[in-house]
Amino acid sequence: MMNPDLVPDNDYLLLTPGPLSTSKRVRAAMLQDWCTWDDSYNQLTQQVRSRLVELAGSDEYVAVPMQGSGSFVVESLLGSVVGPDHALLVLANGAYGRRIGQICQVLGISHHMVDVGDVGVVDAEVAHRGLAEFPQATHVAVVHCETTTGVLNPLDEVAPVVTASGRKLLVDAMSSFGGVPIDLAGLGIDHLVSSANKCIQGVPGFGFVLSRRTELEQVQHAPRSLALDLVGQWRAMEQGEGKWRFTSPTHVVHAFAEALTELAEEGGVEARHDRLARNQVTLVEGLAALGLHPVVERRFQSPVITAFRYPEGPFDFAALYQGLKREGFVIYPGKVSQLVTFRVGTIGDVQPADIDRLCAAFARLRHW
């Protein structure tokens, strides 16, 4: 392991939904250059894959890393497993659900969108409505944590509706996997997508799909992409014992392996979820005292990111942003189309004490 003392401290905490603030230990893992053909690197890839399956909680699944950002991996999944004779129902309540629809349009995938709006929640009723509107659906896609607002869609409501109907369930858990407990097998999830630089606290460069082995084995149709062929990547890694098909982000993979070790040392997903939840509650309580309130109802609020309404009266987000950055914090602008908001992430190498410091900085910069 590289010496963390060689790594400079961060200038600020990234309070965003990813990329996020990582530990010096994770960043130190990238100080050495690595060869993509080396056996030790392939073995590391296999170890990462195995540890992801352990997080999935069932050996029914296989882990397939894929180069690129989270959207690359979502496109890889859709273009590889949703075939020309299939149709996808997309249940959306934000920008990332809508992006699934955009990918379908570009790839020529038959699909139907049910969009309940940025402040809506995808629940059992929405799933039932979508299946009634689009009975030809063979697959259903839903975003677990929609970072447009920070809403955590209730998978435990949606999944039984989808699985009881006999459709395949695809879950975008980009911003939740590793930080929010998900029972993949118990919920009947067929494919789940996430990213290295979210709750597992790695750095950007690749994402991964957790798929039922039987689902990948059954894919017979041609992929819609060469580079983003998920099934081809999986078969290559199985046959080559960890060999990526094309040049992989070697430094990022080493950092991710270190991040997985940190997650285990923290106590696993449940323990990380507890910390993130404490971060989020500390944030909401601290900003409420300053007249800043969340968009999302408490019971649907994720511990990952929180969207806050602009307060009444004059409010200068740009000035607040720059002031917070000078104080050592970077937050996020809003993305809700109907409301004016800003967002604050609570994932990454961040503790409740850091959130206390953030709230104190908000108080010093208050101008509303």
What domains appear along the chain, each with residue ranges and CATH number?
A: 26-263 (3.40.640.10), 268-365 (3.90.1150.10)
Contact call for residues 74 and 84 (beta carbons, < 8 A): no
* pLDDT higher than 60, residue 309: yes
Coil, strand or helix: which one is 368?
Answer: coil
CA gap 231, 350 in Å, rounded:
36
Mean pLDDT of the chain: 96
Q: CA–CA separation, 204 vs 311, rounded Å?
A: 33
pTM as predicted:
0.95
Position 74 pLDDT exceeds 70: yes
Query: How would residue 10 be classed by pLDDT, with cut points 50, 70 and 90?
Result: confident
**pLDDT at residue 5 tops 90:** no
Is the confidence at residue 6, as pLDDT, over 70? Answer: no
How far from each other are the two terminal CA atoms of the chain, in whole angstroms? 48
pLDDT at 9: 75
- Residues of the chain with pLDDT > 90, as a percent, come to 93
Write the pLDDT tens digit of every residue in 346-357.
999 999 999 999
CB distance 283 to 360 below 8 Å? no
Q: Which string of b and e fits 229-250 if b means at least 16 CB within 10 Å? A: bbbbbbbbbbeeebbbbeebbb
Spatial contact of 177 and 1, defined as CB atoms under 8 Å apart: no
Which pair of structure tokens corresponds to residue 363? 């108080």
CB-CB contact of 61 with 184 (8 Å): yes
Query: pLDDT-based confidence at 335, cuts 50/70/90?
Result: confident
User: Do the strands 88-92 and 111-115 form a parallel or antiparallel pair, or are they unpaired?
Assistant: parallel
> For residue 1, what pLDDT is reported?
56
At 220-272, the pLDDT tens digits run 999 999 999 999 999 999 999 999 999 999 999 999 999 999 999 999 999 99
Q: Which residues of 97-136 are buried (b: 16+ CB within 10 A; e: fewer)?
A: bbbbbebbeeeebebbbbbbebbbbbbeebbeebbeebee
